[in-house]
Structure 1
């Protein structure tokens, strides 16, 4: 204990405490609280929405997570920092980090939320955001959209070339700002609407709702959205500070590899600082091989803002997140 009455830890002790992963801790000291879900994914019996996978954990019903047992003890068990470190270094003082695992290209296990008996809240939510009703129904019919049974989230599905779901984006329909990828999502296969006939143009969006907003706009203008290939990036694309270190989003590289006929990429990214930076970065990275067209929303931050303005619909204000409004 230091002269001021506070416990002082050797930096090496704190470093060790931060290295202990939650799965190792639970396997050793709370094995009865551990339940295997699938593959290398676990949950706790006390909190079945707290999922542990690939060295990370996320408590879905509370909307937060972490990387280590220390995070868990402080955030979930609500121990203070000193008590949490003492618990780990006392109970697991002989713990050593496991050797780095040899990375294998094992297929990810996509954990999809259970489907609700209907999609009424998803339909109401998207229709309230201006999305065309028939377009919503088509997505539900082809299995790329449904409503989760637990929190009534909208679940946007991305499928691989064989039609197998590989990616899922969850978004609250209850007015909160909650959005999250389902555990095991493979970002190579993001949500998309592909043209019925091969085309040499692909339209790029940050998120599924922006993509659906653009498709709705085309339909309102009397154009055939099914003649276009529309691809989302599974969220915001964050380029590196140094251009040379930036990479093309994997959803786009996967799509381009499978569609060698593409000649033109139309960027419909957001009208904010990040969106404009992403546009400039992608233009720089792709312009040698493709024609790049910058076509941001004419009005508002994103294409849903523009659609609501176009349809003269007021945008609903998001509520603060809470554990029962995911």
Structure 2
């Protein structure tokens, strides 16, 4: 077994993922737009400006070592051998930045002829019909179909009412999820912003937001009087919690709604969810109050809603697929 000294380890850590793939596995690099790439194996693993993030798993890093260990499952020694053993790898470089980055163009999929399968799926997860009707009427959700697969499309809007974000959630047995091309996570799925309410309730995903609105209605509260915001998936904090930044969707929401000064965190009851809550607590500026309110039962808000309504929780068999 080879031995690597500290100098060699540091040298290996300087090799970014883009440089490694370009030199050693060029067939894995797929150009997305501008200086953004993904891998052929995982289209939700994005590489940009010397960094990479696997959004569907909530992990990321800079170096090729991180990728080989976290994504490919290599041991540290195997990853070192793969990087150091490739003498042909050029000095670390970044994907060249575009001269002028074009604004993102959201490419929402066309709607299906009807929403029947979507409504059946969301009702089966306990979402109240009034909330479903509101979301359909306002264009926040609709059904799309692709190669025989039915999807729910969740749409997020900017302050002017323009669609800026979209994500798909499979409604069949083969589970998958992913963002629509051109999505901007600053404008994730949300339910009514009430100017009189100085608080915002944060959930990880759109279904959890709709579930929280349903829970409000079950408790006799007017869900339209709340500010409900999705963080558009698992939020990945910095390795050092104190260096973390607020999620993009929350940053934009607070800028657009300066009257909001209280945050309720309804993030998942798992490791990433607890870590995300801790990071938000550390990153929030002075002048804001943060209240950590994870669901009292189940993994997430929808699990808790299903428990309360005595609805069977949808089984998460295997991995969620990506498209």
Please, what TM-score do these two structures have when normalized by structure 1? 0.70
In structure 1, how many angstroms separate the alpha carbons of the residues matched to 2:320 and 2:286?
Answer: 46
Q: Deviations over 1:222-277 (max 9, x none)?
A: 21000000011010112223123211111101110111111111111111222222
Partner of 1:129: 125
Shift of 1:145: 0.7
Indicate if the aligned counterparts of 1:113 and 1:148 stay in contact, CA closer than 8 A.
no
Find the aligned partners of 1:142 and 1:182 in 2 and give their Cα distance. 19
1:29-52 per-residue CA deviation (whole Å, 9 max, x = no partner) reads xxxxxxx9998999xxxxxx99x9
**Which piece of structure 1 moves more, 190-199 or 206-215?**
190-199
Q: What pairs with 1:61-100 in structure 2 (closer than 5 Å)?
A: none
Q: Structure 2 matches for 1:244-283, cutoff 5 A?
A: 244-283=242-281
Look at both structures and tell me which one has the larger radius of gyration over its CA atoms. Answer: 1
Partner SS, residue 111 of structure 2: coil
1:175 Cα deviation after fit: 2.7
Residue 111 of structure 2: aligned partner: 116
TM-aligned CA distance change 1:103 to 1:183, over 3 Å: same
Give the corresponding residue for 1:223. 221
Looking at structure 1, the residues matched to 296 and 248 of structure 2 have their Cα atoms a distance apart, in angstroms, of 27
Gaps of 5+ in 2: 1-13, 23-30, 38-42, 52-87
Q: Would the alpha carbon gap of residues 230 and 164 (structure 1) be closer, same or farther in structure 2, given more than 3 Å must change?
A: same
CA contact (8 A) 1:267 1:279 kept: yes
Which of 128, 152, 155 is 1:154 aligned to? Answer: 152
**Aligned-residue CA RMSD in angstroms?**
4.9
Whether contact under 8 Å (1:127, 1:133) holds in the other structure is yes
- Other structure's SS at 1:265 match: strand
1:156 CA displacement = 0.6
In structure 2, the CA distance between the partners of 1:158 and 1:96, relative to structure 1 (3 Å rule), is same
* SS in structure 1 at match of 2:145: coil
Q: Deviations over 1:118-143 (max 9, x none)?
A: 11111111100000112112111111
Among 197, 207, 212, the alignment partner of 2:210 is: 212
Q: Could you tell me which residue of structure 1 aligns to residue 136 of structure 2?
A: 140
* Cα displacement string for residues 166-214 of structure 1 (whole angstroms, at most 9, x for unaligned residues): 1111111003331111122111001001234442111111111111100
Structure 1 unaligned spans of 5+ = 1-14, 24-35, 43-48, 57-92
Size of the aligned set, in residue pairs, is 301
C-alpha separation in 2, matches of 1:136 and 1:145: 8
Asked whether the 8 Å contact 2:126–2:309 carries over to 1, the reply is: yes
SS across alignment from 1:122 = helix
Structure 2 length normalisation: TM-score? 0.70
